[in-house]
Amino acid sequence: MTSTRATPASGQVSITRIDGRSLLLMLGLLAAVITVALLRDMASPGRLQAPPPQPAPRIRRDPGITQLFDRAFRFSQLVLPLRARGYVTVVRSLAGITTMTGLGLILLLLLGQRIERMARVLRLNLGSSFLLGLALAIGTGLLAVLAIISLVAVAVVPLIGLGLAAAGTMGILVVAVALGQRCRRIFATEPGLLPDLITGILLLALVLVLPVVGSPLLLLALLWGLGAVALSRGGTI
Per-residue b/e over 206-218, b at no fewer than 16 CB within 10 Å? Answer: bbbbeeeebeeeb
List per-residue pLDDT tens for the chain, 237 residues long: 434 444 434 445 566 677 778 888 889 999 999 999 888 888 766 554 445 555 545 545 444 545 554 555 454 444 445 444 557 888 888 888 999 999 999 998 888 889 989 999 998 999 999 999 999 989 888 887 777 777 666 667 777 778 888 888 999 999 999 999 888 888 877 778 888 999 999 999 999 998 888 889 999 999 999 999 999 888 887
The answer, as to whether pTM is greater than 0.85, is no
Contact 179, 203 (CB under 8 A): yes
Contact 77, 53 (CB under 8 A): yes
Q: For residues 146 and 156, give the distance between their C-alpha atoms in angstroms, rounded to a whole number.
A: 10
Per-residue b/e over 59-69, b at no fewer than 16 CB within 10 Å? Answer: eeeeeeeeeee
Angle in degrees, CA 152, 157, 162, rounded to 5: 145
